[in-house]
Structure 1
Amino acid sequence: MSHGHSHTHTHGHGHSHEDGHDHSYVNTPLKALAIAATVTGVIFFAELIGGLVSGSLALLSDAMHMLSDAAGLIIALLAAVVGNKAASSKATYGYRRVEVLAALFNAIAVTLVVVFIVVQAVRRLGSDYEIDTGMMLVVALIGLVANAISAWALSSQQNNSLNVKGAFLHVMADLLGSVAVIIAGLIIRFTGFTFADTIASLLIVAFVLPRALGLLWKTIEVLLERVPRGVDLHEIEKALNA
């Protein structure tokens, strides 16, 4: 039975990329994925630094969203490059499990940071704090433009690969995250309602956390050698007996 192989093929991305079936990895447009992964990674660091300096939890939350998607894009690249490396006498099942290990690391890291953000948001309740809305808005606008570039790079290739289509959908979700940060920044700048930052951060966290936990469970299922999702073992047994 190909039990060791089939599990890993369905876990290409931390989000919806797991719907990219085996054949999609073979001809994945590497250039489009590489551009999107690079841009998303750069913006993650920009939002991380900007969030820490400006004091914006919303910006930090969106940075974690970007980290999650950047890692997912890198996993897609691993699936296309390393995952297709031929099996050998040292690795008789091949290297598809590399993407599972990367996904596991991604899920754990994002989940821990999301928990930290929630704790910080709760600690801010009822307290006064300052936010540098100038930096917050500048970084969020850069993120918006960068996500638009990534979406453009992936849009022309999304019909050629389910993996790329999944990446495109999540880059579009990143666009919405950047918009949420910009709206929060404008509200704070013109009304002084700093709690808008906390609200925006919790909304982004509510979007990211279920995806991170879902990825974590799916990777654990793979590592535990559970029956792949969508496979009915009883039906297989009937077919073999027949």
Structure 2
Amino acid sequence: MHGSHDHGPGDVNAKNERRMGLAALLTGSFMFVEVVGGIAADSLALIADAGHMLTDFASLALAWFAFRLARRPADWKRTYGFDRFQVLIAFTNGLALFVIAGWIVYEAIERLMGTPHVDGGIMVGVAIAGLLVNIAAFWLLQGADRENLNVRGAAIHVLGDLLGSVAALVAGAVILLTGWMPIDPLLSLLVAVIIVRSGWQVVAASAHILLEGAPKEVDTRDIAPDLVANVEGVEAVHHVHVWSITQSRRMVTLHARICDTEDSDDVVQGIKARLKEKFNLDHATVEIERGACADEEPKAASA
């Protein structure tokens, strides 16, 4: 059996961790201001946004912890290290977005059936401050690795907050100018729809990785015929498995039957070079076979 054994931390780095931590501090600090403002103004848009900010703070803190945990080296129990934890956190954060959106929808319907009085002035003031805080947090996350699912999940939480602040600002302005109170829950419903859509993208992508699905850029059906056609000495390829630890740590294992006259080390090097060049798969474990596959059921002895 031939394989490569670099199970390093991959795309986890200090920049992601630092920016995630700062975004968590910003969000958590402002959350209390928004709760007080939402209660004082009797605004669902502000209270919903504050509730969203609470889960955002928890999500960002967990995301920060996932990056910190992923620094730990692999051990005999977890031979791939702790990188996958950040995908698990992204999946959890995505599910949390559905819960938040459901609560906002429920509260908005309750509000539409009643006639609450909302203080537009307080709404506008708190919403402007919230908008500035969310822009700062979103900017911090945009400077991190945007291909990372953990960063993407956290950024969607913050983006949902940013949209919530915009909705609260618009609702407050409309109430100040026209006195039309239903704008508050109606804009909250719009934010809920956006949150669900964004949350689904993160849940689908992280679930695919957790289910050991092949990266979307790789069609596993192409690997065997490509290696047979392009690597000298390869007669057949089977038992191909491709999956990801994180979005950037891709793995592949396969069996390759080679000609009796070929040097196995040369063929393995050729296969690995082709996998990296053609499919961007740089962590490969290749089992070389000459003749029958060792995993095939042995034939029963003739009577």
Aligned equivalent of 1:193, options 171, 180, 183: 180
Which has the greater radius of gyration? Answer: 2
Q: Which has the higher contact order (CA 8 A, sep 6+)?
A: 1
Shift of 1:176: 4.6
Aligned equivalent of 1:114, options 101, 115, 135: 101
Aligned length: 222
Output the CA distance in 2 between the equivalents of 1:53 and 1:101: 37
Question: What residue in structure 2 maps to residue 14 of structure 1?
Answer: none
Instruction: Give runs of aligned pairs for residues 151-230 of structure 1, distance below 5 A.
Output: 158=143, 161-162=145-146, 174-230=161-217
Larger strand proportion of the pair: 2
1:93 matched to 2:80: yes
Shift of 1:45: 4.5
Q: Would you say the 8 A contact 1:65–1:204 is kept in 2? A: no
Letter matched to residue 90 of structure 1: K
Moved more, 81-90 or 163-172: 163-172
Secondary structure of residue in 2 paired with 1:130: coil
Output the CA distance in 2 between the equivalents of 1:214 and 1:107: 8
Output the CA distance in 1 between the equivalents of 2:33 and 2:222: 51
Cα pair distance change 1:80/1:90, threshold 3 Å: same
Q: Would you say the 8 A contact 2:44–2:184 is kept in 1? A: yes
Q: Would you say the 8 A contact 1:28–1:163 is kept in 2? A: no
Q: Unpaired runs of 5+ in structure 1?
A: 7-21
Aligned equivalent of 1:37, options 15, 24, 43: 24
Letter matched to residue 197 of structure 1: D
Q: Would you say the 8 A contact 1:55–1:130 is kept in 2? A: yes
Letter matched to residue 26 of structure 1: N
Shift of 1:109: 2.1
Cα pair distance change 1:152/1:92, threshold 3 Å: closer
Cα pair distance change 1:23/1:94, threshold 3 Å: closer
Could you say what the CA RMSD is over the residues aligned between the two structures, in angstroms? 3.6
Moved more, 50-59 or 185-194: 50-59
Output the CA distance in 1 between the equivalents of 2:49 and 2:147: 23
1:46-68: CA deviations, max 9, x gaps?
43454355432222443455456
Question: What residue in structure 1 maps to residue 117 of structure 2?
Answer: 130
Q: Would you say the 8 A contact 2:171–2:184 is kept in 1? A: yes
1:237 matched to 2:218: no
Q: Would you say the 8 A contact 1:65–1:208 is kept in 2? A: no
Secondary structure of residue in 2 paired with 1:92: coil
Cα pair distance change 1:119/1:174, threshold 3 Å: closer
Q: Unpaired runs of 5+ in structure 2?
A: 230-303
Output the CA distance in 2 between the equivalents of 1:52 and 1:161: 37
TM-score where L is the length of structure 2: 0.60
Q: Would you say the 8 A contact 1:25–1:163 is kept in 2? A: no
TM-score where L is the length of structure 1: 0.72
Output the CA distance in 2 between the equivalents of 1:239 and 1:77: 41
Cα pair distance change 1:43/1:188, threshold 3 Å: same
Larger helix proportion of the pair: 1
Moved more, 102-111 or 77-86: 77-86
